Amino acid sequence: MGSVEFSEDVGLVHRDEKGVLRDNFSNRRVIIFSCSAYRSMCDALYDQFQSGAAIILYRMGEGYGRKLVQGVPQLGLSRDEMIEAFEKLAHLAGWGKLSVKITDEKNSEVIVEESPFIIRRQDIGPTSCHFLAGVLAGAASQLLGGAYKAQELRCASKEKGICRFRIYTRASE
């Protein structure tokens, strides 16, 4: 199978006959909420669970990432084509611009420009995109068939610019 084509004019969702929003790729039901709603949910988690909120967000992201790309391996795409499709879908979904660079079989780097997952709080440390880190780990595990983790190395919440993640196999820790 050749490269997957996505463009800005591709509709990501449609409304079915019952008024339910569904994605155009898998026909799964979707919900849409704003970045401010996402941040307010994260604030509630941090207020209740302090540093435990980061773990909750990461684990939620892992599950979401796995489910998000669950059917992709069956498309017969090469690893590079799967990564390119993931980058494009993430951009179309409003996640900013993702760039994935494979450094070796056990390690990758992901750069995110304009991430909507940044949480700006004084009490959470130097990184804040725990949900996106989990998404990247879950997607990598599902797409590449291994146990991957993700660590945010640099966050735009503390430094202007980009978020930088390391994706790695659990065996390479």
pLDDT (tens digit per residue) in 36-77:
999 999 999 999 999 899 999 999 999 999 988 887 877 888
pLDDT band at 26 (very low <50, low <70, confident <90, very high): confident
Bridge partners, 13 (sequence order): 23
User: Residue 3 corresponds to which tokens in the numbers above?
Assistant: 């490269």
Domains of the chain: 35-172 (3.30.1380.20)
Q: How far is residue 1's CA from residue 9's CA, in Å, rounded to a whole number? A: 22
Q: Which residue has the tokens 């069956």?
A: 74
Q: Which helix (H) or strand (E) holds 46?
A: helix 35-49
pLDDT per position as a tens digit, 75-114 = 888 888 988 888 988 888 889 999 999 998 889 999 999 9
According to the model, what pLDDT value does residue 68 have?
86
Between 159 and 7, name the one with better pLDDT: 159
Q: Which residue has the tokens 């898998």?
A: 26
Bridge partners, 169 (sequence order): 148
pLDDT band at 151 (very low <50, low <70, confident <90, very high): very high
Q: How far is residue 99's CA from residue 145's CA, in Å, rounded to a whole number? A: 20
According to the model, what pLDDT value does residue 163 have?
95
According to the model, what pLDDT value does residue 1 have?
39
Between 133 and 68, name the one with better pLDDT: 133
Is residue 65 within 8 A of residue 138, CB to CB? The reply is yes
Q: Which residue has the tokens 């780097």?
A: 109
Is the pLDDT at 125 greater than 80? The verdict is: yes
Question: pTM of the predicted model, to two decimals?
Answer: 0.88
Between 132 and 91, name the one with better pLDDT: 132
According to the model, what pLDDT value does residue 170 have?
73
Closest CA to 157 of 133, 134, 137: 133
